[in-house]
Amino acid sequence: MSTQHGPVIIKPINEVAKFQKNLMPGNIPGDYILKPMFESVASAEDIRNGIVAFRDFLVLLCDMLITDGHLYAKAPKKPGSMADYPFLFNITNLLVDIGYHGKLNKNGDSLIITDIPLCSSYTEVSGK
């Protein structure tokens, strides 16, 4: 079985952003059922509001990339994978880090981020 799928073709950042924006729902219904594992994170209303806010953030990010993305990201001449498009790869990792390491504030209306491993280097100093 071959793992070759042919050449990797990476579109300009504005086309990638348009594609991603079209994948996002325009309307998120407010009555969907949350998985029980999220009950300890925040109230159902706060979680639903957070999902809508995150979608709105992603729409703004895509809009910015559609108009000005060429200033931040250029596709390599001979890409081998999506990781060769470092801006998108790093944005994806950053959003994952924010979601994983962020904690809701007392009001549940924003995230508090004290540590994002992607953006900081950590060196442990040993007394030995």
Tokens read off for 23: 């994948």
Which of residues 105 and 43 earns the better pLDDT score?
43
Q: Are 48 and 30 in contact (CB under 8 A)?
A: yes
| Dihedrals phi, psi of 118, to nearest 5 degrees | -60, -30
Q: By the 8 A CB rule, do 75 and 12 touch?
A: yes
Cα distance between residue 80 and residue 71, in whole Å: 22
pLDDT at 67 over 90: yes
DSSP 8-state assignment for residue 45: H
Instruction: Lowest mean pLDDT of 59-63, 85-89, 100-104, name the range.
Output: 85-89
* Both tokens assigned to 117: 């491993």
Give the whole-angstrom CA distance, residue 47 versus residue 52.
9
Query: ∠ CA(31), CA(34), CA(40), 5° rounding?
Result: 130
| Predicted confidence (pLDDT) at residue 8 exceeds the cutoff of 80 | no
